[in-house]
Amino acid sequence: MNRTERLGMMLVLAGLLLLLILLNTQTYTFNTKSAGEFIEDSTQLSFLQPEITKIKNSVFTSKVAFASAYKNAVDAANVNIEAAANAPEPSENNEEETDSLKNKEEQVVKKADKEEKDSVTEDAIQTAGKQEAKIDDNETGGIEEDYTTGFLVKAARGPLQEHTTTFLITVLGLFTLGSLLVTYGKYAGKPAGIKNNDLFKKPITTVKWPAVLVGLGLIAFYIILYWFPYLLSDWILLVTPIKNLFKNGPADENFLYGVIYSLAVLLLGIKMFIKYRHSSYQKIRTISVSFFQLSFAFIIPEILAYLKKPSVDLKNIWPLDYTFFYDSNINELLSNGKLGVFMLVWGIALLVVIVPLFTYFFGKRWYCSWVCGCGGLAETAGDPFRHLSSKKLVAWKAERIVIYSVLIISVGMTVTTLINYFSNGAVLGTATESFQKWYGFFIGSIFAGVIGTGLYPIMGSRVWCRFGCPLAAIFGIIQRYKSRFRITTNGGQCISCGNCSTSCEMGIDVRWYAQRQQNIVRSSCVGCGICAEVCPRGVLKLENGKTENRINNNPIIIGNDGIHVVQ
């Protein structure tokens, strides 16, 4: 590491440190007004307001204490709501029941409106779906949804709340400048080309303590983000000035995640671009993944939310987007006029027309390493860890069992969802809901998020894509059996050095094929092209071509004319 790199690294670490400090600089005071921004149901509000008023003068220094005070307030309010609902007033009983039903219906409609505003990604829609389901079951009309995070953002008092924009610019500045300096120090003034020097000597890229620390940090981040987002309320406050640009409601944890994700893809995309500046394929591909993350995954859904339309990531495809066929999503799209219908048709067309067609012509790479958000992060932030994927045969065996299991489970989950949808819940009832919850928890959150990204510095950048992603599994089947894509091996030029296999993020033992002059036709190949880049002898080329002899087997490599295989 030279001086510039070190300075850059220090700025990035300073940014991280500042972020951590910002989590502990605020006090939190209940703002009675803000309750109305979250709870639109007047009955609920009327029961909650007095409880909050009781504690509105308390100054909390910890988010946990605030959250527990809020929970107590809600519990108390709910007890009162229940008491009121069960109050025996026999003469007007019927009427009131009707009222309360009406009330509930209104409530559902209001919730749906709110979801539109809040939801940023498919995750948000999914969460909202769960909440809606809960409200339907809510017999007493109590407050079920957890608004702790929203309250906390509003309740913050302190330097961050007073100078939010200044802090935001400082944090973004530290990360941007730091990352650019690292890139500059690493590559400026040096000849372009493959320079993996010391990759297997640095602790961060060889699963030593710094790598474990980063991995644990990422895992902790995902666990907090998914299950305890209120602990990140200060960071949500921090990104509020960005959210305000879109004029579509308050920032939430999903928006925070979108900002962090896009920033990582962009800044480390620049690094990737410079690192492979000698290769047009890598440059164009990096621009592509950065573009799709910034526009399709981040900005367009925000604009859609501003326009009060379903805020959808239009490049997200079922079953990666496992909530696509959820009744909440279908209903939302169908209640949004022509645009909503278009989105529904588009989502289905992506799956049944574009996926097979594009994969036939270009292989799964058109999506996995050019468009996909998960791929985007893997191909930018994950690049320094690509060599950590296991190339062992057992890893390949495990990969096939696990990924196709996830595919089967995701299909099963969606089929039950649809049966439930078309039968109006008559066939499977609440079983579907628990199936969805289970899938969302284990596959959507733990596998794709916590493990998928948390294990970057331990198992490489494509853990989710290789072992988990059901969409990748579908792509893989098409790529293996019906595609023009392959990696061609250049005659007898392979020297079995192993650079290709080492750099494969999907754990393909590329050399196994290359040294036999066999084309590489593997369902998992995402076509990142790095194997071809690192090859010192010009042996590998990603190609789309005729399907005859795409999968070949050459017992004798060319260059040796003495031996012929008897056909």
Cβ 317 to another protein shortest distance, Å? 24
With beta carbons less than 8 A apart as the criterion, state whether 371 and 292 touch.
yes
Q: How far is CA 125 from CA 105, 407, 451, in A?
A: 19, 21, 22
Q: Which ranges of 308-383 does DSSP label H, i.e. alpha helix? A: 327-334, 337-349, 355-362, 365-368, 373-380
* 544 φ/ψ angles, rounded to the nearest 5 degrees: -110, 130
| 281 near another protein, judged by CB under 8 A | yes
With beta carbons less than 8 A apart as the criterion, state whether 159 and 22 touch.
no
Residue 195, both tokens? 């320079």
With beta carbons less than 8 A apart as the criterion, state whether 517 and 550 touch.
no
With beta carbons less than 8 A apart as the criterion, state whether 225 and 232 touch.
yes
Distance CA 73, CA 166 (A): 34
Residue 455, both tokens? 């294990």
Nearer Cβ to another protein (192/431): 192
Cβ 519 to another protein shortest distance, Å? 12
Nearer Cβ to another protein (90/191): 191
Nearer Cβ to another protein (326/485): 485
Q: How far is CA 181 from CA 5, 172, 564, in A?
A: 6, 14, 57
Nearer Cβ to another protein (197/567): 197
Nearer Cβ to another protein (163/277): 277
| 364 near another protein, judged by CB under 8 A | no
Q: Which of 537, 549, 551, 553 touches another protein (CB under 8 A)?
A: 537
Distance CA 526, CA 386 (A): 13
Distance CA 273, CA 110 (A): 46
Cβ 231 to another protein shortest distance, Å? 39
| 1 near another protein, judged by CB under 8 A | no
Nearer Cβ to another protein (305/494): 494
Cβ 391 to another protein shortest distance, Å? 8
**Element at 481 (helix H, strand E):** helix 470-481
What's the N-to-C CA distance of the chain in angstroms?
Answer: 57
Nearer Cβ to another protein (190/338): 190
Q: Which of 27, 295, 416, 490 touches another protein (CB under 8 A)?
A: 490
Distance CA 201, CA 208 (A): 10
Residue 243, both tokens? 């959210």
Return the SS3 of 264: helix
Cβ 5 to another protein shortest distance, Å? 15
Residue 566, both tokens? 């008897």
| 555 near another protein, judged by CB under 8 A | yes
Nearer Cβ to another protein (225/539): 539
Largest CA distance in the chain: 104
Q: Which of 18, 299, 477, 497 touches another protein (CB under 8 A)?
A: 497
Find the helix packing angle between 393-422 and 430-439, rounded to 10°. 150
Closest by alpha carbon to 49, among 31, 64, 65?
Answer: 31
Nearer Cβ to another protein (325/358): 358
Collect all residues with Cβ–Cβ distance below 8 Å to 235 and sequence separation of at least 6. Answer: 19, 22, 23, 256
Q: Which of 50, 203, 429, 491 touches another protein (CB under 8 A)?
A: 491
Which stretch, 228-236, 376-384, 469-477, 494-502, contacts another protein (CB under 8 A)? 494-502
Which stretch, 249-257, 332-340, 372-380, 507-515, contacts another protein (CB under 8 A)? 507-515
Which stretch, 349-357, 412-420, 457-465, 531-539, contacts another protein (CB under 8 A)? 531-539
| 495 near another protein, judged by CB under 8 A | yes
- From residue 510 to residue 529, what is the string marking binding to another protein with x (rule CB under 8 A)? -xx--x-------------x
Q: Which of 134, 278, 308, 397 touches another protein (CB under 8 A)?
A: 278
DSSP 540: E
Number of residues that bind another protein (CB under 8 A): 52
| 228 near another protein, judged by CB under 8 A | no
Residue 60, both tokens? 């909390």
- From residue 369 to residue 398, what is the string marking binding to another protein with x (rule CB under 8 A)? -----------------------xx-----
Produce one character per residue of 104-127: b if its CB has 16 or more CB atoms within 10 Å, e if not.
beebeeebeebbbebbbbbbbbbb
Distance CA 490, CA 511 (A): 12
| 189 near another protein, judged by CB under 8 A | no
Following DSSP, what letter does each residue of 42-101 receive, concatenated? HHHHHHHHHHHHHHTT--BS-HHHHHHHHHHHHHHHHHHHHHHHH---GGGHHHHHHHHH
With beta carbons less than 8 A apart as the criterion, state whether 27 and 158 touch.
yes
| 284 near another protein, judged by CB under 8 A | yes
Q: Which of 279, 436, 445, 461 touches another protein (CB under 8 A)?
A: 279
Q: Which of 203, 334, 536, 549 touches another protein (CB under 8 A)?
A: 536
Which stretch, 42-50, 131-139, 352-360, 555-563, contacts another protein (CB under 8 A)? 555-563
Q: Which of 86, 197, 424, 567 touches another protein (CB under 8 A)?
A: 197
Cβ 375 to another protein shortest distance, Å? 18
Which stretch, 160-168, 190-198, 416-424, 467-475, contacts another protein (CB under 8 A)? 190-198
| 196 near another protein, judged by CB under 8 A | yes
Cβ 555 to another protein shortest distance, Å? 7
Nearer Cβ to another protein (320/514): 514
Q: Which of 295, 331, 416, 493 touches another protein (CB under 8 A)?
A: 493
| 277 near another protein, judged by CB under 8 A | no
| 90 near another protein, judged by CB under 8 A | no
- State the residues that interact with another protein by CB under 8 A: 191-194, 196-202, 278-281, 284, 392-393, 488, 490-493, 495-499, 501-502, 511-512, 515, 529, 532-534, 536-538, 541-543, 555-563
